[in-house]
Chains A and B, each alone.
Chain A
Amino acid sequence: MFEEVIEKIREQVLNGLRSGAIREYSPQSFKSWARGRDVVTRGELAYELGKQNSALLILWGNAENRIYLSKESDGSLAVIVICDVVWDGLEKYECFRALRDAFYNLSLYGVTIRSLPSQLKVWLRVARRASEEGFSLGVLARAVNEAMNSLEFVRATDVIILTSRNEMDALKDAFLRAKKIIDALIKMHEEKLLNCEECDYRDVCSEIPELKMIRDRIKRQ
């Protein structure tokens, strides 16, 4: 479903690795972090990323439990999560919801993470105390990796965290495409009567084989 999008993301990550703009790690390179749902205020802030210029993509595809972090940071934040999923009777929509819920339930001590799933936005605030105790984006990536891998149908998870506007701009089309696919998936499951001729998502539903299958199945029902 997300092959084309993931290919573009991987291509950019590879270019980043070659130029040194992105570094690759294993999740174990970073420490595991205590849980706790915090509201970090401006007065406690070490740094803040995302909110306006942000992207949160939770996709499925091949993954090998790797973490990719960009070196440059200008306050932007893209969190891209690619989960290798075992499709053993699992429906695509069910999978999407479970992965999204796992991200929503991510609570880390000294850190505020908020996401707007329908707009694919993410907002991260890190408290000085957390930063001083060793919290980093690598630690966040490990926590995301662990949260996703704790789902029984997830084999492995790659987490890519980009923190510069340039890197995000280069993937703008891929982000929009992924959003459209996810929106189409949600819409198909929320509207039992499909009026495909007038639908804004007609293009992706016709192009993506998985969406086409779901659409045909719903129509048959």
Chain B
Amino acid sequence: MKIAVVGKGGVGKTTISAFLVSILSEKGKVLAIDADPAGGLSISLGIRVRRTLEDVRNEIADLIRQKYDKVEIASSIDYKLLEALHEGEKFLFLAMGRPEDEGCYCQLNSMLREAIEMVSGSFDYVVIDGEAGVEQINRRVMKSVEYLLVVTDSTRKGFQVANQIRSVADRAVKFKKCALVVNRVRGQPDVEAGNFDFVFLIPEDESVFRFDVEGKPLTDIRDSPAFKSVKNIAETLLFQGL
């Protein structure tokens, strides 16, 4: 099962992704993909990134320059992708890295995406912490996900961006269900689902703020209001098969 978490910058996508990884890794084998070039998910998961997919891409680009054939390249991608996976105790982690020369190697990009999709098949859950838009999920990570979680805060701008993402999502990436996740909520606001299949609210949580300030991994949080709300999202979407 593949879940992509997207939304405007600074709304808490990475926190939600980290909680999802933490919750789902109790239930099965999880691959966490940090598709945001800013690379915050590794910190939230307490991981030190040594190698990104971008490093793999650059190494493979060298093979292409040396005119190796498709099977040689595919085989090398598989090998190097496996090397680039960081193995945590309960999940595996892949950082996409910052693309330097987007578009120069279209065939390589699609081979990398195919390799990620193939690797993903060995996992029970794949959680993708995305960049602001949804297009890059399709372009760089995978063609389809089961669940698209569009995160916003309570600001008008946040909702605006969430609705924009929802409106382009249909043509940007294949998905089964799309949920709106309103993060850092105070009180019990009345939020309409609109074009979204579900709406979830996550309360403002002092412990998340404190862990972020202290640079502690969010995977150490097991019992906070925000964690419980993300657990509710996971249970509703995944375990009840909605």
Contacts and interface: CB of A to CB of B under 8 A. Distances in A.
Interface of A: 37-39, 41-44, 97, 100-101, 104, 112, 114-118, 121, 123, 190
B69 interface: yes
Contacts of A118: 63, 68, 72, 76
A190 B76 contact: no
A10 B96 CA distance: 45
Contacts of B67: 190
Contacts of A42: 87
Contacts of B29: 41, 44
Given A43-B90, A123-B82, A115 B123 contact: no
B78 to A, nearest CB: 5
A128 B242 CA distance: 33
B89 interface: yes
Nearest to B122: A39
A38 B72 CA distance: 20
Contact of A97 (B71, B85, B87, B123): B71
A180 to B, nearest CB: 16
A38 B82 CA distance: 11
B79 A123 contact: yes
Contacts of A38: 122
A97 B69 CA distance: 10
A8 B183 CA distance: 67
Select the residue from B79, B87, B92, B119 with max chain A CB neighbours within 10 A: B79
Nearest to A105: B71
A41 B92 contact: yes
Interface residues of B, number: 23
B99 interface: no
B122 A116 contact: no
Given A39-B123, A118-B63, 7 more contacts: A37-B122, A39-B85, A97-B71, A104-B71, A104-B74, A114-B79, A114-B82
7 contacts: A38-B122, A39-B82, A43-B90, A97-B71, A101-B71, A104-B75, A118-B63
B78 A114 contact: yes
B121 interface: yes
Select the residue from B75, B87, B92, B118 with max chain A CB neighbours within 10 A: B75
A43 B124 CA distance: 14
Select the residue from A101, A114, A121 with max chain B CB neighbours within 10 A: A114
Interface of B: 29, 63, 67-69, 71-72, 74-76, 78-79, 82, 85, 87, 89-90, 92, 118-119, 121-123
A115 B75 contact: yes
B47 to A, nearest CB: 14
A41 B71 contact: no
Contact of B118 (A37, A44, A104, A121): A37
B82 A41 contact: no
A21 B73 CA distance: 36
A97 B85 CA distance: 28
Contacts of B119: 39
Nearest to A112: B82
Contacts of B74: 104
Contacts of B71: 97, 100-101, 104, 117
A97 B71 CA distance: 9
B75 A116 contact: yes
A43 B25 CA distance: 12
Contacts of A112: 82
A163 B191 CA distance: 62
B181 to A, nearest CB: 28
B116 to A, nearest CB: 11
B72 A117 contact: yes
Closest CB pairs A-B (n = 4): A39-B122, A114-B79, A42-B87, A190-B67
